[in-house]
Chain A
Amino acid sequence: MSPVAGRGREVRTSQPHNALGPVGAPRLLAGLDSAITTVGLDQHLERWGRLPALGSASILDELDRSGLRGHGGAWFPVGTKWRSVKRSVTKRPVIVANGAEGEPASGKDRLLLDGLPHLVLDGATVAASALGASRVIVHVPAARIPAIRSAVEERRRFGLDSVDTEIVEAPDRFLAGQESAAVNTINNRNPGRPSFTGTRTVREWGVGARPTLVQNVETLAHVALIARFGSDWFRRVGTPESPGTALLTVTGLWPQPRIIEAPLGLPLQQVLGLSTEDAGIFQGLLLGGYGGGWVPMAEAMVMPLTEEAAREHGSSIGPGVVALLPSQVCSLSEVSRVVSYLESQAAGQCGPCVNGLAGLDHSMETLAFHPSSLRGGTSRILAHCDLIEGRGACRHPDGVTRFVRSALRVFSDHVASHLHRGPCRSRIGPCLPIPTVRRTVRQGRETK
């Protein structure tokens, strides 16, 4: 099949666009042309102008009206989150622009941080002034630091922001971007690992024991545009519940992964620019990354790109990862590899997660490679999932079970074939991206 560009805009073949064009035109990526690797402050201001001086109440109202939700993975309403951080009267909050992006199949935060750092930093500035923050911290992997540092220095020279921006390196771990893990990294206390937040969230008690807003960098970039153009403009695209656009990292469709900006609400088929015939060469679509869920190809094609539709399918848009799995690949060996990776990335702090994921990893590996040794079949795997869910300090175990459950459902024919005819001999793959894991000695508890 030929690579096809959908209505979503992909960055490689980009043409200059009118920033405020019709529905379907890019918003965040409007300033990013293929020839430009980083949009500097001059270009940024030329395109978007300076941030308007907005009062705290009006920006919070505007955010509520915009319906913007968090694009880091949770899709939590941004206005609600900001208000809960603002509740404290005795402490000034901290803003964390979170670009840790531990998800191996995601590249959109990287694109924003390297290409459009000023859009992200504008969003952080809006948050700082709306919430009266005393600190702004950008939390990014080591490789993103040079670009963001020079952007911060440009703004400093220009005297753009009233609160100075600090940069903190995020460790290279799947869970590094988890809200409480990011706070722990910044506090240099149990870095890269989540905390139990069941009795007190980071919104109340985060960086330096202050109320803390941890917001994904894409979400902040949307905030930067909402502050300039308002909620009505933002809602011109998308659906009432999932307004605006979203950055998606698409893997498996083109020779290389690509990042596109898609209007929410469009059917996925249109977003990806796939013909029905092209769709037939894939056996399933993974939405939401490795904590997301598989959707059968036929359903995915007609499914609108909204968080509501994704949840109805047992998935989530999550951090905007879309991965297509070709039909000739053994889905179960792909799933097993990912589950092993996710198991290796657990923080190792909670008993049910440590033991549960080790068991799930073993079961999925058996199903993929030695299915005749699988005791109890898939019903035992599902019962195992029941036992793990909701029992970690963070949602990592729940993400793994969602991934496994959806795989067993969507690839049920292939599961049956493994159980009745043995493992398949497909040598194609691996397809789903997994970073090389440095096996370090686990801190924390041992498997019982």
Chain B
Amino acid sequence: MSRRRIELIVDPIACDGHGVCAELLPEAIWMDPWGFPVIETADIPAHLIGHARRAAESCPRLALTLVERNT
């Protein structure tokens, strides 16, 4: 059965470790020892989608993208 899932992906070339994403979405993102975000939960649950969207929009490097995939 196919369903839509919302994934959060980071462009590691664009990302410079600003950290605003981990601040806004700690449920899915944490910062590694070097100061770069680790996306722990790529598949974003429905109740976090608003926060995820805000995190993506707030990235100063526009390195974070929400993508919809059919699985």
Contacts and interface: CB of A to CB of B under 8 A. Distances in A.
B1 interface: no
A349 B15 CA distance: 9
Interface in A355-377: 355-356
Interface residues of B, number: 16
A198 B67 CA distance: 10
Contact of A448 (B15, B17, B67): B17
B12 A351 contact: yes
Contacts of B33: 387
B11 A198 contact: yes
Given A198-B11, A199-B65, A199-B67, A445 B16 contact: yes
A163 interface: no
A445 B34 CA distance: 13
B11 A352 contact: no
Contacts of B32: 352, 387
B46 interface: no
B20 interface: no
Contacts of A353: 12
Contacts of B11: 196, 198-199, 393
Contact of B12 (A387, A393, A448): A393
B16 A196 contact: no
A350 interface: yes
B14 interface: yes
Given A196-B12, A196-B14, A448-B17, A351 B34 contact: yes
18 contacts: A195-B13, A196-B13, A198-B9, A198-B11, A349-B13, A350-B13, A350-B15, A351-B15, A351-B16, A351-B35, A351-B36, A352-B36, A355-B34, A387-B32, A391-B12, A391-B38, A393-B13, A445-B16
